[in-house]
Structure 1
């Protein structure tokens, strides 16, 4: 487990005096592959400024105090999306021994069923603090001396009882199969609730002697806080019992609380079974008003507590088997767009079904063909007859087909369609009838000014039902926010199949095409908005020999060539078309790939997949400033102002004359492609995001 990625999540709220010891201590850890993530719950004491001084610490700022559960959930979700294998939860007032991570991983390595490992929590005494709540120097030195001791590792499996939430190591699979912490608790009993679910999901809890010193506040809390803490302890303990331990134990617990409140001078009976009595500290306030308030809250929110209980059961049930995802995508008719689902289906714990129209006309699929991916993977392609075929917003599937899909009982629906469409309405209905969660993927980066009322209404329904959204580029999120979508929106780029694109130069093939000079390449559908006239204008002003290779077809081909004839460069242009398997061969004939798209009132570039092809075959890329092009290129190419031939000409000249610049762009393109645009990585991100939706507390 030496290569396992460990995320240490430190939760903080106005804990500057503690962080001064905690963060440096954690960073002294000897394990190599760990990251520190500080989640701040709206501090006002300069905690953030202090934490940001450490470049090794990633900081997440919450706008409010979300409590323990809500705060750590934010960090846990970030860590899971970043690929964490293990997550260690730590309070801001903790200090640990240097090899604490290595020791915990040794425990996990001993048994695959171990899901949680707890540290030995040792509170400091009042004498260790000065009147201002800071730890006195002598105590710090003594404390560090204890931490430096390399004690033999000891541990035991807990058959009952709980591990402290501070210094708690959790295996990734626990969150994926048992869910996150319940944010309703805010404070107290969140560990009991979470760890009970972990046990039910089949995981073992292990207590160790790994040192974790708990600084504490050093100052007695005021009466107002004591009343609030007492209320939360009583309220949450009853709620936790309702969720996890049944009616009889909950009734016994409630009676015990009432009895202790009515008899404040009677010593509390602590001989009862651990789960049959109230878990509280000796100084908790058990007066009648606090108890009545806690009981009333649980009565009022009983329906939501029971709903949470059913949600937890469903999360555990889903975690015990393959997760069923139903993907709805007309674009999956195109082989290029099926690869995402092929890669998603490769994960062993996912059952992927894809609904795709029997017939659909796309640029790379000219005729109806049978779709069957079973020969390549486990993704199931489900062909369905559509009404209003080839109309993106109007098309929908026939009724018998829809009912059949509903009966398949998906856990989550991934709608790769615009939310304001007829097929989106069908996805909404299937989600309601089956109880499946719903997410959608949007490419829309312009607000449609004239949309039918029915589409706007459907969009609102989908927004209300959807757990989150995926966006093709950052402009899409701006459009979603303008339309009123307030939930999470995550980037999900298109990708490229690395097996189809590679650097394989063929001078003979290039010559056979009549390309003798520096070759400027374009690939895609030939339409006016693709900026082909701007390319001609720019090329006609170049002061060096060149050729233009255009790979694609479309309605604007004749106008493009007529304009090139007018500019007297027609003889330098080669126009051809290529199958999916042949595109790489043509890209290898290019010295630069150009995407000169130009925005209109109803369209601007949403992605620019040809740019990825250029990066894959190690050719420099140039794109216009239209839509998402600058975002896709990043620092791996040059961007010119759309519709400005002179700017494009300067960029072409720079790449032609500066070999170092061209080589630098190629190197950055390879790195950017590997990081952002390979299908396996995109599928992994989709899997992690869908998992987050499935385990997210509602």
Structure 2
């Protein structure tokens, strides 16, 4: 099968959709499909040796400020006008897209090239006409049952579920990186709470800081490490000062994605306290794959990731976060058991091989192989 994985940012940024296209592309290629990656012009190197086609585009901030939806659509259409002819000429069996702003013109291209169109949703970027457009797709998926329900509530159409996956070779349990730990912490025996995400208010890190304050006398040897950058850093710094935790909380800045397993190697627990209705939670799945016990918010698609292999807390509840951290830090056996259960859950349900198995079964419905 000849497949185009189309998304402007796949070659421009790193993130969930971008990871999906590279990993799914690699796995489809391994299985004998012809795979082409489409994206915007960039200096980023290709993640894998796949056929990659890039095109010029205008960034959204160069368009009039008529609202973010308008700017996102204009940005994507600025690339579309440069690659439409190539998509038509190459006559793909299937074109896979991820953003609803790409649907109108991709449907037009697909009609001319007799390609099938698959839209893999990862969120709720709804706009007038969304329901009308998705009815014209050949196949429609959502990244979780929760996300499928959001879409059904909006337009009456329920997509099939296609979970994201984890690279379980990169994200795997490692021997403790003692030299890295020594760089960051004053003691080799220090216990570590770890979080990795953008520093945005909706990620809820201020509630973990509050939970740390509740536990600091009970556990004098633990630290909270936060990997990530974002515009909420100033507020988080103020939160650390207010609770007098400058000696307990460390901001690591941006940690390259492939290096995160080195940090997870000495983490006792990973905490993801999102206040937002996350549709999946790929960072949580990666921590679980590394054998680290996780605590996450009992909302959105996060429970589908964690299942019974971690601890769920009410969003914004620092008391429950503190209780969950206490359970794990107080008992090494519980820590090991939850960590092992998390790794097994990912291996059994959420690898990229599982994702592509399911994707191939869906593609078979619209284009028998």
TM class by shorter chain equals 0.7 to 0.9
Aligned partner of 1:472 in structure 2 is 143
**TM-score, scaled to structure 1:** 0.47
Aligned partner of 2:185 in structure 1 is 514
Aligned partner of 1:340 in structure 2 is 24
Aligned partner of 1:405 in structure 2 is 87
SS at match of 1:407: helix
Which of 24, 27, 34 does residue 351 from structure 1 map onto? Answer: 34
The offset of 1:461, in angstroms, is 4.2
Distance in 2 (alpha carbons) for counterparts of 1:660 and 1:500? 25
Contact 1:387 1:398 (8 Å CA) reproduced = no
SS at match of 1:623: strand
1:555 is the counterpart of 2:231: yes
SS at match of 1:539: helix
The offset of 1:647, in angstroms, is 0.7
SS at match of 1:386: coil
Spell out the pairing of 1:119-158 with structure 2 (5 A cutoff).
Answer: none
Contact 2:177 2:263 (8 Å CA) reproduced = no
Contact 2:289 2:347 (8 Å CA) reproduced = no
Which of 599, 606, 617 does residue 290 from structure 2 map onto? Answer: 617
The offset of 1:485, in angstroms, is 4.8
Aligned partner of 1:369 in structure 2 is 43
Unaligned runs of 5+ in 2: 62-70
Let me know the Cα RMSD of the aligned residues: 2.2
Aligned partner of 2:68 in structure 1 is none
SS at match of 1:586: helix
Which of 443, 456, 461 does residue 128 from structure 2 map onto? Answer: 456
1:490 is the counterpart of 2:165: no
Spell out the pairing of 1:255-294 with structure 2 (5 A cutoff).
Answer: none
**TM-score, scaled to structure 2:** 0.87
Structure number with greater Rg is 1
Contact 1:615 1:669 (8 Å CA) reproduced = yes
The offset of 1:531, in angstroms, is 0.3
Distance in 1 (alpha carbons) for counterparts of 2:201 and 2:186? 24
Distance in 2 (alpha carbons) for counterparts of 1:651 and 1:671? 21
The offset of 1:389, in angstroms, is 4.3
Aligned partner of 2:171 in structure 1 is 501
The offset of 1:648, in angstroms, is 0.6
The offset of 1:330, in angstroms, is 2.9
1:330 is the counterpart of 2:8: yes
Provide, for residues 355-405 of structure 1, a one-character-per-residue CA deviation record: whole Å limited to 9, x for no partner: 1122xxxxxxxxx315446xx44x322112224447544422242421221
Distance in 2 (alpha carbons) for counterparts of 1:669 and 1:527? 26
SS at match of 2:247: helix
Unaligned runs of 5+ in 1: 1-322, 359-367
Contact 1:504 1:617 (8 Å CA) reproduced = no
The offset of 1:625, in angstroms, is 1.9
Contact 1:438 1:465 (8 Å CA) reproduced = no
Spell out the pairing of 1:368-387 with structure 2 (5 A cutoff).
Answer: 368-372=42-46, 376-377=48-49, 379-387=50-58
The offset of 1:408, in angstroms, is 1.3
The offset of 1:586, in angstroms, is 1.2
Contact 1:463 1:485 (8 Å CA) reproduced = no
Provide, for residues 631-683 of structure 1, a one-character-per-residue CA deviation record: whole Å limited to 9, x for no partner: 11111100011111001101111111133322221121111110222222222
Distance in 1 (alpha carbons) for counterparts of 2:122 and 2:289? 23
Distance in 1 (alpha carbons) for counterparts of 2:279 and 2:226? 20
Aligned partner of 1:587 in structure 2 is 264
Contact 1:598 1:642 (8 Å CA) reproduced = yes
